[in-house]
Copies of this chain bind each other. A is one copy, B any other.
């Protein structure tokens, strides 16, 4: 070492990569822990134990417990379905992945606890709202703008109000009532929104 000069030049040393298997085991354990213990009784120690991982590994890759929980839940959310023709179906497709997640296995518990984490932890909340912006708000705005251009709906729609009407009911069922999501719930909310915006 102690050689001249080239120290300023970055001598690239990549080294070992992040262990994907460890990450997967951790996220699995987080989902299990969330579904069993919820948010307040969520235990990092339990996660490390169940995943046979070191807590150091967890704290190295996630800045807070909340973001860890949010990551574990969002990785359950599938992609939005394609090929919707109807206007209502296109809008429903935006929130269909959330509905599907809430209806699949322990998704109801995992998603609820993760949303609690996002509401209770600042950094997780920031990440969650960013996700909403790109996955919900952006596509919804595109669809509504197109429908407005075609004069299918009024031109004075407000994107925030539209989001309220579209996803609010889902939170009520999932967070407040702890009730299962009825079949085709997304489509009904989409139709409701469309009806309120009809020209």
- Which A residues have a C-beta under 8 Å from some C-beta of B? 38-40, 42, 112-113, 115-121, 125, 128-129, 132, 161, 163-165, 167-173, 175-178, 188, 192, 195-196
Establish whether residues B175 and A164, one from each chain, have CB atoms under 8 Å apart when the complex forms.
no
CA of A145 to CA of B153, assembled, Å: 30
Establish whether residues B167 and A172, one from each chain, have CB atoms under 8 Å apart when the complex forms.
yes
Q: Which of B112, B120, B168 contacts A38 (CB 8 A)?
A: B120
Establish whether residues A177 and B129, one from each chain, have CB atoms under 8 Å apart when the complex forms.
yes
Q: Nearest-CB distance from A30 to chain B (Å)?
A: 15
Q: Which of B113, B119, B195, B196 contacts A112 (CB 8 A)?
A: B119
CA of A192 to CA of B125, assembled, Å: 28
Known contacts A40-B40, A168-B169; A120/B113 CB under 8 A: yes
Most buried by B among A119, A129, A175: A119
Q: Is the interface of A mostly helix, strand, loop or mixed?
A: helix
Chain B, Cβ-Cβ closest to A188: B161
Q: Which of B42, B171, B196 contacts A195 (CB 8 A)?
A: B196
19 pairs from A and B in contact (CB 8 Å cutoff): A38-B120, A39-B116, A40-B42, A40-B117, A112-B119, A113-B120, A115-B176, A116-B119, A119-B175, A119-B176, A119-B178, A129-B176, A161-B169, A164-B168, A164-B169, A164-B173, A165-B168, A167-B172, A195-B196
CA of A112 to CA of B173, assembled, Å: 16
| A-B pairs, 6 with minimum CB distance | A168-B168, A164-B169, A168-B169, A168-B172, A171-B171, A38-B120
Chain B, Cβ-Cβ closest to A38: B120
Q: What residues on B are CB-neighbors of A169 within 8 Å?
A: 161, 164-165, 168
CA of A195 to CA of B38, assembled, Å: 38
New contact pairs (15) apart from A38-B121, A115-B176, A119-B175, CB-CB < 8 Å = A39-B40, A40-B40, A40-B117, A40-B121, A112-B119, A116-B120, A119-B176, A128-B176, A161-B188, A163-B172, A164-B172, A167-B168, A168-B170, A168-B172, A171-B171
